[in-house]
Structure 1
Amino acid sequence: MTADTVVRDLPWGPAADGLDREYWDGLLAGELRLQRCGNCARWIWGPQWICATCHTFDPGWEAVEAVGTVYSWARSHTPFIAELADRLPYVTVLVELPGADNRRVLGILTGDDTDVQIGEQVVGHIELDEGATWPLLRWRRREGTQS
């Protein structure tokens, strides 16, 4: 960070209760981390204090390969948060992760976002916006899968 860089108060990062801190720390470390129950091995997303399947408290966090399939998508022409105003229109994708028992995570599709198809393969990448404290998981089409 240069002396001219201003840290902005952006609307993402760990929740005050600390429940999702491992997710954000994982992104800082270059990993996508999701919860997984140590008792029944069920993948959990969004973060929870307790496993909904076996009711074990304090599920652990594991790195997951950030590759998946577009389950759903939407093109936004309205900046729902001011930080996205200069990126209009943008495509949000709901991505199914085969490496995490098909748990689904959201993210912005970067690069070519024309003619997005459900079932298309995408690869996650982690980006740190200028002035941001916490990076974001974003998605790109996997080469050779565009229509």
Structure 2
Amino acid sequence: MSETPTLDLPWGPAADGLDRPYWEGLAEGELRLQHCGHCGAWIWGPQWICATCHTFDPGWETVEAAGTVYSWARSHYPFITELADRVPYVTVLVELPGAGNRRVLGLLVDDVPENVRIGDQVVGHIELDPGATWPLLRWRRADTEGARA
């Protein structure tokens, strides 16, 4: 049995390792964001210090991958070649109530992306593309069949 070759895809941990806990969380089936143990601020994107209280090395916590579409955009151009077979695709900015309303980006991958609306409830699922080393967080509307897959 032959293995699928690993592709050099443009996502995964940064060379400085700052966001590695995020990617490791996805690989373990969890969404992890930084959370300051000193002041309680949620942080996204990853930072070396908390912007609120300036404590160094904020921790990482698992959060529920469920939220509300805060904004969205439909792309008709594949900004990276790995998305060429998905155009047009919808990118959503999702507000996470379980993480102090921090907002994270991802692709909306349900069956009717043309009907996306601000305020839609979405749930995240983690998807490992064939040949990829690191999975990605993708979003489906909460009322879409299989949304919690």
Give me the TM-score of the superposition, normalised by structure 2: 0.94
SS at match of 1:75: strand
Corresponding residue for residue 16 of structure 1: 15
Distance (whole Å) between structure 2 residues aligned to residue 101 and residue 114 of structure 1: 29
Which residues of structure 1 form unaligned runs of 5+?
none
Distance (whole Å) between structure 2 residues aligned to residue 62 and residue 68 of structure 1: 16
Distance (whole Å) between structure 2 residues aligned to residue 80 and residue 131 of structure 1: 20
Once the two structures are overlaid, the 10-residue window that deviates more, 3-12 or 86-95, is 3-12
Corresponding residue for residue 142 of structure 1: 142
User: 2:32 matched to 1:5?
Assistant: no
Runs of 4+ in 1 over 2 A off after TM superposition: none
SS at match of 1:114: helix
User: Percent identity among equivalent residues?
Assistant: 77
Q: How does 1:26-45 map to 2 (within 5 A)?
A: 26-45=25-44
Q: Which amino acid aligns with 1:74?
A: A
Q: Which amino acid aligns with 1:118?
A: I
- How big is the alpha-carbon RMSD for the aligned residues of Structure 1 and Structure 2? 0.9
Distance (whole Å) between structure 1 residues aligned to residue 132 and residue 116 of structure 2: 28
Corresponding residue for residue 106 of structure 1: 105
Which residues of structure 2 form unaligned runs of 5+?
145-149
Q: CA deviation at 1:4?
A: 4.4
Corresponding residue for residue 78 of structure 2: 79
Distance (whole Å) between structure 2 residues aligned to residue 81 and residue 35 of structure 1: 27
User: 2:91 matched to 1:63?
Assistant: no
Distance (whole Å) between structure 2 residues aligned to residue 122 and residue 7 of structure 1: 30
Q: Which amino acid aligns with 2:127?
A: E
Corresponding residue for residue 132 of structure 2: 132
